[in-house]
Amino acid sequence: MAPSSGGSGPADVGRSSARGSVGQVFDEMSVGRAHVVAGSVLFIAFVVEAWEQVGLVYVSDGIAAEFGVGDAQLGWALSAVAFGMVPGALLWGGFIDKLGRRKVAVASLLVYAALALLAALSPSFWAFLVLRFLSGVAFAGVYTVTFPYFLELLPTRWRGQGAVALSIGFPVGTLLCIGVSQTLGAVSWRAVAVVAALAGLWAFAILRWAPESPYWLAKQQRHAEAAQVLRRLGGAVAADARFAVDDSGPSGDIRSLFSGGVRRRFLLLLVVSFTFSWGYWGLQTWLPVLLQGKGLSVSDALWFVAVTQLVSVPGYLLAAWLTRRFGRKSIFLAFVFASAAGGALFGFATGAVQMYTGNLILAFFSLGAWGIWNTWSGEALPTGLRGIGYSWVTAAILLANTVSVPVIGALMDGGVASSLTIGSIMVFLVIALLSAIPIQETEGRALA
C-alpha cells in the first residue's frame, strides 16, 4: 500500500512521524534466521495438515472391514474431516482477522488433537463419522490460516518462493502418512489415527517460535507490537513507529468482500478454488483404487502413489523458481494446462507406459500449481479481509474435496468406466484454467 501524505517512502518508516506501510518495510527486508525458523515451524504445521487430509485413505480397507461399510459410506468417512472443515473454515475466518493469525493456529490444532483422538477410539461407524466431522471443524482454523500467516512474515521478493516451498509439506505429509500406514496400519487403522491426532500438539511450537503477523498487528492499531515483530524479522524500524494500513474497512467484515473493489476478484478466487480442487482432489483420493482397477496390486498402487509424491517435489521447486521470474498468473495457467493433459493421458491410457507417464505429469504440474495458488490466492485480498476471504477460498476447496470423493465413489460403484470418471474430473481443471485468467498479478507487489 502506498504511504499516506505524512510519509516519504520505505526509508522513512523507522521515524515515528512516518506513515509508511508494513509492506514497505518488507520491500526492503532480506531473508534472515527468524524467517527460516518461523517458516520451518509453519512447514511442519502444513505437513500435519496434509497428513490429516490423506491420513486414513491408506488404511481405509481396515475401516471398511471393521465397520462393515461399502465404498460410498467409506467415501463419506474419508471426507468427513474435509466436510467439517467447510463450516469450520467459515467459522474460524472471522476470528483470524479479529483475534490474530497465531492464536487461531494454536487453538485450532489443540482442539483438533482432542477430537481426533476421540475419533480414533470410536466404538461405532456413526460415532467415528461425527467425531471426524467435528475434528474437521476444529482443524479448519490452522488449515485456513497457515498460508496467509506465512505470507505476512516474508519479505516481498521472497513471498512466492517461500510460500511455494511451504507447499512441499503436502507430499512430505503424504509420504509420512504412507510410511506410518504401512507400519502401524498392520496393527490397526486406529493406531494410525492416534498418531495423526497427537501431531496436533505441534501447536506449542507455533506458540513458541512463530511471531504474530505485523500486518495484522498494525491493522489492529497495535503499532508497537508490529514494530517489535518487524525488528525481530530484520526490519529497521523504530520502536515508536506507526504504520499506514489498508482502508478495506473493519477487520473480518464479510460485507466488504462483496464491495465493488473486491467482489469480482473474490468470486473468481472461489470459482478457481472449487474447480481446481475437484479436479485434483477427486483423482488423488481415489488414485489407489483407480490404479488397482488398472491392474496394480494394493502394495504396487501405494508405492506408485509414493513415487508421484516424490515427483511433485521438483514440480514445487520449479514452480517456485518460475513464479519469481515470470509471475504467478502465467506459470499457474501453464501448470494447470499441463496437469489436465497429464490427467487425460492417465485416464485414457491403453498401456502401462501411458498410465505411468500421465500420472507423473499430473503429479508434477498439479502440485506445483497448488503451490502457486496457495500463494496467489492468499495475496489477492487486503490485510483486513485476508483471513475471512481466505477462509471462504478454503471452504470452496474443502467443499470440492468433500463432494468429489463420494460422487466419484458412487460413479465407481455404478460401474462407470475409469476413463470416463477421470475425464469428468479433468473438465474441472479446464474451468479452473479459464477462471484464473482475469485475476490480477501479485508478484513483486507489497501486500495491501
DSSP-assigned beta bridge partners for residue 244: 21
Per DSSP, 244 falls in state: B
Q: How many CB atoms lie within 10 A of CB 278?
A: 26
Q: Which SS3 state, helix, strand or coil, does residue 7 take? A: coil
pLDDT at 12: 40
**Successive 10-residue mean pLDDT values, the chain, 448 residues:** 34 45 92 94 91 77 86 80 88 91 97 95 92 94 94 92 86 83 82 91 96 94 95 91 79 80 91 89 66 62 71 86 90 92 78 79 87 91 90 90 76 68 78 92 85
Q: How far apart are CA 202 and CA 396, in angstroms?
A: 26
Residues 65 and 192: beta-carbon distance below 8 Å: no
Ordered by where they begin, the domains of the chain are: 13-436 (1.20.1250.20)
Q: What is the pLDDT of residue 60?
A: 82
148, 264, 268, 383 from 261: Cα distances, Å? 20, 8, 13, 14
Question: Which pLDDT score, from 0 to 100, does residue 5 have?
Answer: 32
Burial 101-119 (b: 16+ CB within 10 A, else e): bbbbbbbbbbbbbebbbbb
* Residues 340-365 pLDDT 10s: 888 778 777 777 778 778 878 888 89
Residue whose grid cell is 505524512? 6
Please check whether residue 124 is in contact with residue 66, taking contact to mean a CB–CB distance below 8 angstroms. no
| Three-state helix/strand/coil letters over 353-422 | HHHHHHHHHHHHHHHHHHHHHHHHHHHCCCHHHHHHHHHHHHHHHHHHHHHHHHHHHHHHHCCCCHHHHH
Q: Cα(147)–Cα(11) distance, rounded to whole angstroms?
A: 28
